[in-house]
Structure 1
Amino acid sequence: MGVRRAAKGIGEFLVETVGETIAEALLSLLACALLVCLVFIAYLSWSLSPRLTVVGGGLLSLFLAHGAWVTFRDPARGRRRRGVAAVTTVGFTLTAATAVFLLFYATGCDCL
């Protein structure tokens, strides 16, 4: 019985290791593709109109700054986030999550 249990344990370990390796490779590939798409969008935008790219970057920065401010400030009692505050909070949260994802998985990306 000891041999069967050991073989089953080794088999489970190998399946888990291979699964983690494949998942890590897929996440790295996804992060690299996302990074390439972001760089391509910035390049395409800059090649079409540098002024509009700078203005768009400034507006995006204001949008994200407002989202961060709304996220980290103390809300008034009995008031929920509405309208622009809710949209900027969601935008900031998605951008922060994307940045953390790229930080963890795109640091070893040799595609650039």
Structure 2
Amino acid sequence: MGVRRAAKGVGDFLVETLGEAVAEVILSLLACALLGCLALIAFLSWSFSPRFTLAGAGLLSLLLAHGAWQTFRTRARGHRGGLAALTAVGFTVTAVTALFLLLFSTGCDCL
């Protein structure tokens, strides 16, 4: 009985280790694909119109700054308005995406 339990434990360990390795590869590939898509969007946008690209980047920066301000400020009682909630969600999604790229695309050899 001891050998069977030990073999089952080793088998479970191997399956878990293999699952983690596969998940790491999938997340790294997803991060590389996301990074490539962001670079492609920036390239296509710049080739279409550099002025619109800079204007859009400035507008996006203002919206993200407003979202960060809404997220981290101490506010009075009540709820956020429409634009404030939208910019806060946009900031949160952007921050989570940046953290994901920081964690998983650092080992990406596609650059």
Q: TM-score range by the shorter chain?
A: over 0.9
Q: Which residue type is aligned with residue 13 of structure 1?
A: F
Q: Secondary structure at the match of 1:104?
A: helix
What displacement does 1:96 show?
0.1
**Runs of 4+ in structure 1 over 2 Å off:** none
1:68 aligns with 2:68: yes
How big is the alpha-carbon RMSD for the aligned residues of Structure 1 and Structure 2? 0.5
Measured in 2, the distance between the counterparts of 1:52 and 1:110 equals: 31
Measured in 1, the distance between the counterparts of 2:96 and 2:30 equals: 14
What displacement does 1:75 show?
1.4
Q: How many residues align?
A: 111
Q: Deviations over 1:22-75 (max 9, x none)?
A: 000000000000000000000000000001000000000000000000000011
Which residue of the partner structure matches residue 50 of structure 1?
50
Measured in 1, the distance between the counterparts of 2:45 and 2:61 equals: 16
Which residue of the partner structure matches residue 103 of structure 1?
102
What displacement does 1:82 show?
1.6
For structure 2, list consecutive stretches of 5 or more residues without a partner in the other structure. none
Identity of aligned residues (%): 71
Measured in 1, the distance between the counterparts of 2:109 and 2:3 equals: 44
Measured in 2, the distance between the counterparts of 1:102 and 1:81 equals: 29
Q: Secondary structure at the match of 2:81?
A: coil
Measured in 2, the distance between the counterparts of 1:107 and 1:81 equals: 36
Which residue of the partner structure matches residue 28 of structure 1?
28
Measured in 2, the distance between the counterparts of 1:11 and 1:74 equals: 51
TM-score (norm 1): 0.98
